[in-house]
């Protein structure tokens, strides 16, 4: 298959590395310096090159802020039967765009950003394939993710957004709170250093991505739950209620235990 990847960032390069030995691949990137380390793939910097390539599948791997603008730019140069796809962690507006595009489409979300995941060992990582869209496109990505050893889940656009609101907004907001109240430690403990590493990784993400995760219509309810738990914990601390603290720790340990058992 002739596959065009839009964007030669970390995820774009990852997909090129994954696909280039089984397919004829090309990458379009406006910043030529990002193309220095791509290999076994064609490197494009103009729309005319894309038009001549005649891709059968486009994987849009630009940052979430530019996902739809990148599609709008490239669509006039694609064959009518070309499948367009995205790997965006935020799907806001994509369903409506796809349905008006006139192209077959498929939308997926590899749940393993390059910040924390070991891209050489993905057996504990997940990927979501949106059930709406082209059947053959979904089969293609299911096969790719299966070969990578990923755990695959199929959700609608709405179900995906609800999942992201839970799985991203809770750790993001918890990290923001940690970063907001922390101060420099000359001799930090192990737990503090681990939290700091997570905070640096999250805050290294694109501002627009962080914004869109938090502006997800399902995020507010998740953040409210964090506030309620903090209020409960603060009351226990202020009252120095040992029994209540024991019960609270038991509850959260059971939450973690249940999550581990479900994964096993």
> Residue 186, class by beta-carbon neighbours within 10 Å (0-12 exposed, 13-18 middle, 19+ buried)?
exposed
Task: Flag whether pLDDT at 261 surpasses 70.
Answer: no
CB 131 within 8 A of CB 155: yes
Percent of the chain with pLDDT over 70: 95
- Candidates 211, 136, 132, 120; CA nearest to 168 is 211
- For the record, the structure tokens of 14 come out as 């990852």
Using one digit for the tens of pLDDT, what is the confidence trace for 9-34? 889 999 999 999 999 999 999 888 88
Q: What is the mean pLDDT of the chain?
A: 90
pLDDT the model gives residue 245: 95
What is the spatial distance between Cα 234 and Cα 201, in angstroms, rounded to a whole number?
28
pLDDT the model gives residue 90: 84
Q: Angle, to 10 degrees, between the axis of helix 67-74 and the axis of helix 94-101?
A: 10
Mean pLDDT of 170-179: 91
pLDDT the model gives residue 233: 95
> Residue 243, class by beta-carbon neighbours within 10 Å (0-12 exposed, 13-18 middle, 19+ buried)?
exposed
Percent of the chain with pLDDT over 90: 65
In what helix (H) or strand (E) does residue 106 lie, and over which residues does it extend? strand 105-110
Residues β-bridged to residue 129: 108, 154
pLDDT the model gives residue 217: 81
Using one digit for the tens of pLDDT, what is the confidence trace for 216-243? 888 888 889 999 999 999 999 999 999 9
Using one digit for the tens of pLDDT, what is the confidence trace for 96-150? 999 999 999 999 999 886 555 566 678 889 999 999 999 999 999 999 999 999 9
Mean pLDDT of 60-87: 96
Residues β-bridged to residue 84: 58, 105
Eight-state DSSP code of residue 34: G
- Candidates 165, 167, 90, 83; CA nearest to 126 is 167
The pTM of the full predicted model, rounded to 2 decimals, is 0.81
């Amino acid at each position: 298959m002739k596959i065009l990847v839009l964007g030669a960032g970390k995820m774009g390069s990852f997909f090129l590395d994954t696909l280039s030995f089984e397919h004829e691949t090309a990458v379009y990137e406006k910043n030529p310096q990002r193309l220095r380390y791509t290999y076994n793939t064609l490197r494009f910097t103009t729309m005319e090159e894309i038009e001549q390539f005649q891709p059968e599948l486009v994987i849009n791997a630009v940052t979430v802020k530019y996902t739809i603008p990148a599609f709008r730019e490239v669509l006039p140069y694609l064959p009518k039967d070309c499948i367009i796809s995205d790997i965006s962690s935020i799907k806001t507006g994509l369903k409506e765009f796809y349905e008006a595009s006139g192209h077959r489409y498929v939308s997926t979300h590899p749940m393993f950003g390059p910040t924390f995941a070991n891209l050489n060992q993905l057996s504990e990582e997940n990927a979501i394939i949106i059930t709406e869209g082209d059947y053959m496109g979904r089969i293609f990505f299911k096969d790719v993710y299966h070969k990578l050893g990923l755990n695959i889940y199929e959700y609608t656009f709405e179900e995906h957004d609800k999942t992201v609101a839970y799985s991203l907004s809770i750790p993001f907001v918890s990290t923001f709170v940690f970063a907001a109240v922390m101060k420099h430690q000359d001799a930090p403990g192990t737990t503090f250093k681990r939290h700091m590493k997570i905070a640096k990784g999250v805050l290294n993400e694109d501002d627009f991505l962080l914004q869109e995760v938090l502006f997800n219509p399902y995020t507010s309810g998740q953040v409210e739950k964090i506030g309620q738990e903090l209020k409960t914990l603060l009351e226990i601390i202020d009252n120095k209620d040992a029994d209540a603290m024991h019960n609270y720790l038991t509850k959260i340990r059971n939450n973690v235990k249940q999550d581990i058992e479900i994964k096993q």
